[in-house]
Structures are given as structure tokens and as C-alpha cells.
Amino acid sequence: MKHLHDLPELQLQEHTFPEQTDIGLRPTGYEIRMPDTGEWLMTNQEMFAAWLGDRRVWGIPYHGPVYASGTRTIYTGSRLCGCSVCQMNVNPKDKPN
């Protein structure tokens, strides 16, 4: 199974997103899953990059670093996904046993 980090054409990129008041918002492809309902919601790059839960881009699961909201600083706290890619930047004390 391919992961998003194996597909360079789908890597997280810089984008300019329209304001919420703009008419005709275009889909971004960035989606986050609500843990309480399991529903996938479309979001912008900033929320996507800071989301600790499940993420996907154009329907493909994304496993990669999480950034502190509004920054380029990698978040090193605990993560929900236990895969090696998602756990790479997590502090050892915050990793699952």
C-alpha cells in the first residue's frame, strides 16, 4: 500500500486558500476525520498540518509530521497514529508503549 509520503506529487505544498467569505470556494483535497463521528471534513492547509488525528489528501491517507498551529515548528507531542512515519518526531516519553 502506498502512503502519501511516497508520492511526491501529493506532498504537502504551500497554497493560498480563499477567505471563508469568498463565493465558490474550491475543494482543497485536504481532509480531517472527526474522532467522535468518523466523518471526513474538508479543511485548509493550516488546520490539516496541525491535526493530530487521521488525515487524507484527495482520499489518500496521509502519514507525516504535524506542525504547531500557524507555524513551521514540528509538533513533538503524542500522536493518535502509531505508524513509524507519524511517530518519527514524537518525544520518546510521549510515544505509546
Total-model pTM? 0.68
Domain interval for residue 76: 27-92
**Is 4:11 a contact under the CB 8 Å cutoff?**
yes
CA dist 34 and 46 (Å) reads: 16
Q: Examine residue 76 and state whether it is found in any structural domain, yes or no.
A: yes
Binning pLDDT at 50, 70 and 90, where does residue 17 land?
A: very low
pLDDT digits (tens, 9 = 90+) for 20-74: 544 445 678 899 999 999 999 999 999 999 999 999 999 999 999 999 988 889 9
Domain count, the chain: 1
Q: Examine residue 7 and state whether it is found in any structural domain, yes or no.
A: no
pLDDT digits (tens, 9 = 90+) for 1-13: 445 555 554 445 4
pLDDT at 16 over 50: no
Q: Which pLDDT value is given to residue 62?
A: 93
Q: Examine residue 2 and state whether it is found in any structural domain, yes or no.
A: no
Q: Examine residue 20 and state whether it is found in any structural domain, yes or no.
A: no
